[in-house]
Each structure stands twice: as structure tokens, then as C-alpha cells.
Chain A
Amino acid sequence: DAGITQSPRHKVTETGTPVTLRCHQTENHRYMYWYRQDPGHGLRLIHYSYGVKDTDKGEVSDGYSVSRSKTEDFLLTLESATSSQTSVYFCAIRTSGEGSPLHFGNGTRLTVT
């Protein structure tokens, strides 16, 4: 267990509202990632972080922002949620060096109505 906690596990929100998802790790690993998983698309990278205050965009970053003010927390914010952002969101960390496997949290199921 790489000590990853995602919160909340489930959330239902209305279109146009801001939403923040949290990923917390207990082991101070440098690399953290946010993916979304949708039927027919697999996992797609939203944003990632390679250190405190160091973040970059993935392939589906539009409509999302991230922050990492502490090593252990990586926050994903939907500024104004849309129905197309209904998805399961996974946080992952890399516990070893570049190219090493990822360890995933158990996901947040977000429904935007």
C-alpha cells in the first residue's frame, strides 16, 4: 500500500459549480498524477506534478486546474463543472525513479448533473 487517499470517494454536483478533489500521500513522493477514466477512453492524463508548485498539463487539461502547495497533497479543481466532466478520477504516485510503475488511489466517482 503506497498510502494514497482520495477524497471524496463519491460526489454529485450541479453544472457550473466548482469542485475540488484531493489526493493525499503519506510518503513524500515527488511525482503525482491525475487521470480520468471513461468508458471507451481508458485512462487519460489530466495534470501531473513533479514537485511542490511544479505542475504541468496532460492531454485532457481543459477545464481543470491543479495545485500542489505541499508534497503530500495534490488537488484537482474543476472551476465550473460540466456534464462532460462526469467521470471517475484517479490519482497516482510514482514511488521510484523515472519510468517506474505508478501506484493508484481507489478513485473518486464524480457525477455532474
Chain B
Amino acid sequence: SQQGEEDPQALSIQEGENATMNCSYKTSINNLQWYRQNSGRGLVHLILIRSNEREKHSGRLRVTLDTSKKSSSLLITASRAADTASYFCATDGGATGANSKLTFGKGITLSVRP
């Protein structure tokens, strides 16, 4: 079963606008990660936020985490046409050793119009 559920499923914005994507999850986590996938390619890691962190920045990316609401948001500021891709959140449940694995959501399709 999916742990993370992204919202919205699809988002279309104009270049220069900000894009906000949300992720909700069900069980406790060790960290939450966001990935990007361009068409026909594998996923690429964007940013990781730990359960004891509330906000993290990386370039034009800003991620927040609210563990009380079991939700995270990814903000892309000043979007560019090249940001067009699918975005996934993934949760790490904190299992150690052999059970260390990520659970992915279904993804959000972002289209940035030039």
C-alpha cells in the first residue's frame, strides 16, 4: 500500500510562478524525501528532510514537514519550463538493516508553461 499520497495529481502553472506540491503519509517516519522524474528517465533525488526538522531549503526548493499532521510540502519558486516533470515523495520508516527501504507516493505531474 502507498505510504505517501501527493496532492494535487497534476499541476499546470506559468513560468515564473511558484509551484506547491503536498504529500501526506500514514505512519511514523524517519525522514521524507522528494524526487523528480523526467519523461523516460529514472527518479532523481531532490531533497531529504528528517523527522526532527521542520523546513529545509536547497536552491529554489523549499520543503516543510509537519509530523503532527503527517504532511510535507515541496515549493519550487520562480518555476522554469525545465521544471516540467513528475515529482514524488517517499517516506523512510526508520527500519534498520535489512528492512531499510523507501515507500513512494503516486506522483504529481507538473507542467510549466513558457
Contacts and interface: CB of A to CB of B under 8 A. Distances in A.
B26 interface: no
Contacts of A74: none
B59 interface: no
B20 interface: no
B42 A31 contact: no
Interface residues on chain B, size class: 20 to 34
A98 B105 contact: no
B104 A42 contact: yes
A102 B43 contact: yes
Contacts of B56: none
A106 B88 contact: no
Contact of A107 (B31, B42, B101): B42
A112 interface: no
Contacts of B42: 4, 90, 92, 104-107
Interface string A86-109: 000010101000111111111100
Contacts of A104: 42-44
A58 interface: yes
B31 to A, nearest CB: 6
Contacts of A92: 42-43
Nearest to A9: B40
B96 interface: yes
B102 interface: yes
A29 to B, nearest CB: 12
Contact of B30 (A4, A99, A105): A99
Nearest to A51: B98
Interface of A: 4, 31, 33, 35, 40-45, 48, 50, 54, 56, 58-59, 90, 92, 94, 98-107
